[in-house]
């Protein structure tokens, strides 16, 4: 019986699934964002978030445990160097999954999974105002050429009758 054994096997053997998740985790750590199917992204999220949590504590044992999952020295260096420094104060939720629609060939639901603290587009910084079709160059020039309210107000005429 398989009571309470819920995780997606992704139609792969255990060794193939472990190798695939390891490779995807290395790609995510090195590139900070990868595009994949939603099912694989959800499985990868469960796989990589404990590794990022483990990387917060930079000990020899933690490095060995993470290396047993990833098998890539450059990814370990990146994880324990830049990534662990950025997520040091975050209590969890290191990745974000954003759905991008369906793949044209087989209609599989696609998404990209990214590390939250490394996304420049969604960072909470001041953004420039975007120009819309209505606010064309002509209308902004017309506003500049038009006299301001202060210039159009007529000066009060002094009464000389008194």
Closest among 115, 99, 122, 83 to 40, alpha carbons compared: 99
pLDDT in tens, 92-138: 999 999 999 999 999 999 999 999 988 777 655 545 556 667 665 65
With b for 16 or more beta-carbon neighbours within 10 A and e for fewer, the 40-49 pattern comes to bbbbbbebbe
Q: Out of 4-13, 37-46, 119-128, 134-143, pick the least confident.
A: 134-143
* DSSP string of 4-37, one letter each residue: T-----TTS-HHHHHHHHHHHHHHHHHHSEEEEE
Q: What is the pLDDT of residue 151?
A: 52
Is residue 160 pLDDT above 90, yes or no? no
Q: What are phi and psi of 12, to 5 degrees?
A: -135, 160
**Statement: residue 45 has pLDDT above 60:** yes
How many beta carbons lie within 10 A of that of residue 66, not counting itself? 21
How far is 99 from 114, CA to CA, in rounded Å?
Answer: 11
Looking at the domain 14-118, which fold is it? 50s Ribosomal Protein L17; Chain: A, (3.90.1030)
Whole-model pTM: value is: 0.73
For the chain, domain boundaries: 14-118
pLDDT higher than 90, residue 30: yes
């Amino acid at each position: 019986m398989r009571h309470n054994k819920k995780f997606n096997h992704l139609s792969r053997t255990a060794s193939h699934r472990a190798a695939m998740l390891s490779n995807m985790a290395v790609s995510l750590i090195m590139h900070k964002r990868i595009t994949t199917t939603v099912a694989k992204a959800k499985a990868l999220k469960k796989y990589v978030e404990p590794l990022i949590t483990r990387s917060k504590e930079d000990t020899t044992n933690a490095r060995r445990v993470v290396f047993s999952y990833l098998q890539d020295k450059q990814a370990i260096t990146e994880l324990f160097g830049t990534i662990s420094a950025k997520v040091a104060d975050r209590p969890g939720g290191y990745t974000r999954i954003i759905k991008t629609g369906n793949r044209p060939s087989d209609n599989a639901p696609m998404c990209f999974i990214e590390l939250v603290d490394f996304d420049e587009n969604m960072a909470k910084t001041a953004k420039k105002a975007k120009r819309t079709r209505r606010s064309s160059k002509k209308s902004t020039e017309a506003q500049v050429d038009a006299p301001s309210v202060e210039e159009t107000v007529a000066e009060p005429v002094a009464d000389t009758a008194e």
